[in-house]
Structure 1
Amino acid sequence: MKIDHEELLARNPALVASAFWHVAHRHAGAAQGESPILPVFFVSAAMLLHRATVTKIRAMQFDSGILKAVVEAPDILAGLQGRVESHADTTLSALQVGVASGLLVREGGEGFPRFRAIGGNDLPLAIRDLDPPVSHMLSAAKRLGTWFAMDGFDAARRQLNIEF
Structure 2
Amino acid sequence: MRSDHEEVLLRNPALGACAFWHLSRMFSEYGFGRAPELPYFLIAAGMIFHGGTMEKVRRMQFDSGILKAVSDRPDIVAGLQRRMEDYSLLALEALQVGSAAGILQREGGEGFPSFRAIGTDLPKPIRYGEGSVPDIFNCAKRLGAWFAAEKINMLQKQLNIEL
> In which range does the TM-score fall when normalised by the shorter chain?
over 0.9
Q: In 2, Cα distance between the equivalents of 1:60 and 1:5?
A: 27
- Report % sequence identity: 54
Q: In 2, Cα distance between the equivalents of 1:139 and 1:4?
A: 22
Q: In 2, Cα distance between the equivalents of 1:126 and 1:76?
A: 32
| Corresponding residue of 1:49 | 49
| Corresponding residue of 2:156 | 157
Matches within 5 A, 1:10-89: 10-89=10-89
Q: In 2, Cα distance between the equivalents of 1:130 and 1:101?
A: 17
Contact persistence 1:46–1:80 (CA under 8 A) = yes
| Bigger mean CA offset, 151-160 vs 33-42 | 151-160
Alignment TM-score, normalising by the size of structure 1:
0.95
How far off its partner does 1:12 sit? Answer: 1.0
Q: In 2, Cα distance between the equivalents of 1:81 and 1:13?
A: 20
Residue 99 of structure 2 aligns to which amino acid in structure 1?
A: V
Report the count of equivalent residues: 163
In structure 2, the residue corresponding to 1:112 is in which secondary structure? coil
In structure 2, the residue corresponding to 1:115 is in which secondary structure? strand
In structure 1, the residue corresponding to 2:149 is in which secondary structure? helix
Residue 135 of structure 2 aligns to which amino acid in structure 1?
A: H
Gaps of 5+ in 2: none
Alignment TM-score, normalising by the size of structure 2:
0.95
Residue 5 of structure 2 aligns to which amino acid in structure 1?
A: H
| Corresponding residue of 1:116 | 116
Gaps of 5+ in 1: none
In structure 2, the residue corresponding to 1:105 is in which secondary structure? strand
How far off its partner does 1:152 sit? Answer: 2.5
CA RMSD after TM alignment = 1.2
In structure 1, the residue corresponding to 2:106 is in which secondary structure? strand
- From the superposition, tell whether residues 28 and 127 of structure 1 become closer, same or farther in structure 2 (CA, over 3 Å): same
How far off its partner does 1:14 sit? Answer: 0.3
In structure 2, the residue corresponding to 1:106 is in which secondary structure? strand
How far off its partner does 1:8 sit? Answer: 2.5
| Corresponding residue of 1:127 | 126
